[in-house]
Structure 1
Amino acid sequence: MTSSSPAAAIATATQPQRRSRRGRFEPYLLIAPTVLLVLGLMVVPIVIVIGYSLFDNVVTNQNPQFVGVANYVAILGNPAFWNAVGNTLIFTVISVVIHLLIGIGFALMLNSKLVHGLPRTIFRAIYILPWIFTASVVAVLWRLLLDPSGVINYVLTTIGVLHQAVPWLATPATALISVTVINIWSGYPFFMISLLAGLQGVPSDLYEAARVDGAGLVRQFFSVTLPALRPIVYSMALLDLLWTTQQFTLIWATTGGGPINHTEVVSTFTYKLAFNSYQFSMASTSAVVILVASLFVAIFYVRQQKKASQS
């Protein structure tokens, strides 16, 4: 019978320590690629843009001068900025509200027992079509439809609703509502699919208990369906609020912010400052203001998600 040497005993004792040390660093190694991507694609650009907003004019000026918050005072005192903010609020609020209403309506219809089998499959395919198209395709499609010689004007003049064709996207009175309708059409499937998934998760026992208590369809909707869907509705509404306020491609490809800035939103306003007027510092300032406003919505969204997970 031989006893282990001291060196072997020490090596055996240090192996668990090495494993524990390696196990301690493994999670950091796994998240390192994501952290580097976030730093490189988000944090660093945001810091650079904030830095640009504190100088008189960068990129075009070889020796930019530090001006502090002067750019913020200028942008907040610019009537064109507040016009863009007002258009953004109108565009966003109407889009989010109608997205929600249409989404709930179609989700209820597709979840109804009256629609089943092949008709339900066909309706699902038709209703989800707008979500398949990219924003540029949607813009081209609706520009053709809303053209003075397009299908919509032809139908409305044929049935007598209009006496002559209307350039919907080129008329100040109709341009903003037209791009809002386009955004509603392209975005409602997101609500519909999410709410349909939520409806299918509501226990049928709740509806049976409500019917036993004498509740009709309307009462069941407000007492059973809506409370069950409330967390989903909050999450979808806040996400849609963030996405819609940052909408750029659809508006740029349909109206470019015109006519006469009637569809100018904060995203197109910022883009024009940078690449039309070459005022990169002012564009950075506008972007920082938008970022701060979006952060408030994002923080509220995270808080709602935390509450929902804890309940």
Structure 2
Amino acid sequence: MATPVAMVVGYSIFDNVITNRDPQVVGFANYVQIITDRAFWQAGRNTLVFTLVSVAVHMVLGLTFAMLLNTDLIGPRLRAAYRVVLVLPWLFTIAIVAVLWRMLLDPRGVVNYLLNTVGIDVGLTDWLGSPALALGAVTVINIWAGYPFFMISLLAGLQGIPAEMHEAAKVDGANPVQRFWNVTIPQLRPLLISLGLLDVIWTTQQFPLIWMTTGGGPMGATEVLSTYTYKLAFSRYEFALASTSAVVILLASLVLAIFYARSQKMKD
């Protein structure tokens, strides 16, 4: 595990590697170039928006559907059917998800047809081809593909809460909203923190979904740090700069990993 990390860190202090037979040490010049690159900061902003919105909605949808599947208000057969349907997005590979949503969001696809049918005039909107809409579109796709993990994990957490706690709160006069905030959420807090940190780490490093839907375009509207780094290496063949970008991402990921490790230690 240490060898490739050390190699990338080493590459980052040369003027270029792999394509240059005699690379020269440039110290921190590559880091200065990356940090002052406007495209890097745009990719960073896109990554931040993409991550924060995805994680927040994953939490809300996951908890909502988990509570739906944990309630006695619907019968066991209907609950079992819901479990199958709601977990389906998680069963698809990223390639299938990308192809599926590219067809759905095509200007002549199902989404535009349905919106126009119900009276929302969107015409032939190209959701993945519009600089103003593309980032929101890929964020929705990522939310759709990722919420089942939260749903399943939180459902297990809900089923682990003793029923006696809810019954005691009910006897004390707590209404459903009060029981949710004072019993359910405190019991799920360690799980919510762990899931949130893990999802932040995973989402900030999302590459295949972006690459197979928009490729970081149009006009950099969906460029994230992972696609930015990939293009430096395999489109521009600037492997030293790509390594530098990777090291910067690694440092940010280490901060998140430390927070996650500390949250697990506190939970234990």
Out of 80, 97, 118, the residue aligned to residue 77 of structure 2 is 118
Identity %: 59
Q: Which runs of 4+ in 1 moved over 2 A?
A: none
State whether structure 2 residue 55 is matched by structure 1 residue 55.
no
User: Relative to structure 1, is the Cα distance of residues 249 and 163 closer, same or farther in structure 2, using a 3 angstrom cutoff?
Assistant: closer
Counterpart contact for 1:195–1:232, Cα < 8 Å: yes
Out of 249, 255, 258, the residue aligned to residue 214 of structure 2 is 255
Aligned partner of 1:44 in structure 2 is 3
Counterpart contact for 1:157–1:165, Cα < 8 Å: no
Unaligned stretches of 5+ in structure 1? Answer: 1-41
**What is the letter of the counterpart of residue 109 of structure 1?**
L
Root-mean-square deviation (Å): 0.6
**What is the letter of the counterpart of residue 286 of structure 1?**
S
**What is the letter of the counterpart of residue 260 of structure 1?**
M
Out of 207, 223, 229, the residue aligned to residue 182 of structure 2 is 223
Out of 197, 213, 226, the residue aligned to residue 267 of structure 1 is 226
**What is the letter of the counterpart of residue 277 of structure 1?**
R
Question: TM-score, normalized by length of structure 1?
Answer: 0.86
Name the CA distance, whole Å, in 1 between partners of 2:45 and 2:171. 49
Out of 139, 144, 147, the residue aligned to residue 185 of structure 1 is 144
Out of 45, 54, 69, the residue aligned to residue 95 of structure 1 is 54
Unaligned stretches of 5+ in structure 2? Answer: none
Counterpart contact for 2:98–2:212, Cα < 8 Å: yes
1:2-44 deviations in Å (ceiling 9; x for gaps): xxxxxxxxxxxxxxxxxxxxxxxxxxxxxxxxxxxxxxxx211
Alignment of 1:103-142 (within 5 A): 103-142=62-101
Aligned partner of 2:192 in structure 1 is 233
Out of 211, 217, 242, the residue aligned to residue 170 of structure 2 is 211
Name the CA distance, whole Å, in 1 between partners of 2:198 and 2:145. 15
Out of 244, 255, 261, the residue aligned to residue 296 of structure 1 is 255
**What is the letter of the counterpart of residue 109 of structure 2?**
G
Displacement after TM superposition at 1:163 (Å)? 4.7
Name the CA distance, whole Å, in 1 between partners of 2:187 and 2:122. 48
Aligned partner of 1:71 in structure 2 is 30
Out of 209, 232, 245, the residue aligned to residue 204 of structure 2 is 245
State whether structure 2 residue 106 is matched by structure 1 residue 147.
yes
SS at structure 1 position matched to 2:132:
helix
User: Relative to structure 1, is the Cα distance of residues 182 and 163 closer, same or farther in structure 2, using a 3 angstrom cutoff?
Assistant: closer
**What is the letter of the counterpart of residue 48 of structure 1?**
M
Counterpart contact for 2:61–2:147, Cα < 8 Å: yes
**What is the letter of the counterpart of residue 104 of structure 1?**
L
Counterpart contact for 1:71–1:281, Cα < 8 Å: yes
Name the CA distance, whole Å, in 1 between partners of 2:203 and 2:80. 29
Displacement after TM superposition at 1:165 (Å)? 1.4
1:166-192 deviations in Å (ceiling 9; x for gaps): 000000110000000000000000100
Displacement after TM superposition at 1:115 (Å)? 2.1
State whether structure 2 residue 133 is matched by structure 1 residue 201.
no
Alignment of 1:165-184 (within 5 A): 165-184=124-143
Question: TM-score, normalized by length of structure 2?
Answer: 0.99
Displacement after TM superposition at 1:117 (Å)? 1.2
1:221-262 deviations in Å (ceiling 9; x for gaps): 000000000000000000000000000000000000000000
Counterpart contact for 1:171–1:259, Cα < 8 Å: yes
Displacement after TM superposition at 1:308 (Å)? 0.2
